[in-house]
Amino acid sequence: MNQQQSLPRRRHLMDPNAPRKAPDPQDLERLQRVQRRVMTVLVLTTILHLAVGFVIAADHVAADRTDARIGLNVIATAFMVGGIAAALLINHRSWKSPWLLLGLLPGIVGIWWTVL
């Protein structure tokens, strides 16, 4: 008797005689929703850390270089607005949203902290 025929097929291998059932569309929808939320959180936290890093870098610039401080805060604001727009697009929403105003927050706080 052939040795392969006597052993049961391992479950992690594909069985051509018993194909997997098609996934449920509702399960796929839920999975995609969770994936979008996870990507949104990752994008926003990464961009937030980057923006805060620019504000901290602006604080470490010499006091007589106000132009460099303002420039770094403007860059922080641009990155944050871009990150919020990316999060909106990931969730299939229009990037033209009042939520973009939240992206101005690092710039406002940064200007207050480093320049004023």
- Residues 76-112: pLDDT tens digits? 999 999 999 999 999 999 999 999 999 999 999 999 9
- What is residue 82's predicted lDDT score, i.e. its pLDDT? 97
CA 102 to chain CA mean position, Å:
16
- What is residue 2's predicted lDDT score, i.e. its pLDDT? 56
Report d(CA 55, CA 111) in Å as an integer.
8
- What is residue 71's predicted lDDT score, i.e. its pLDDT? 97
Q: What is the DSSP string of 32-84?
A: HHHHHHHHHHHHHHHHHHHHHHHHHHHHTS-TT-HHHHHHHHHHHHHHHHHHH
- Residues 42-84: pLDDT tens digits? 999 999 999 999 999 999 999 999 999 999 999 999 999 999 9
Answer whether 69's CB lies under 8 Å from 58's CB. yes
Query: What is the pLDDT averaged over residues 110-115?
Result: 94
Question: Taking the alpha carbons of 94, 98, 101, 102 in that order, is the dihedral positive or negative?
Answer: negative
- What is residue 116's predicted lDDT score, i.e. its pLDDT? 87
Q: Does the pTM of the predicted model rise above 0.75?
A: yes
Query: What is the pLDDT averaged over residues 4-26?
Result: 76
Closest C-alpha to 11, from 1, 24, 20: 20
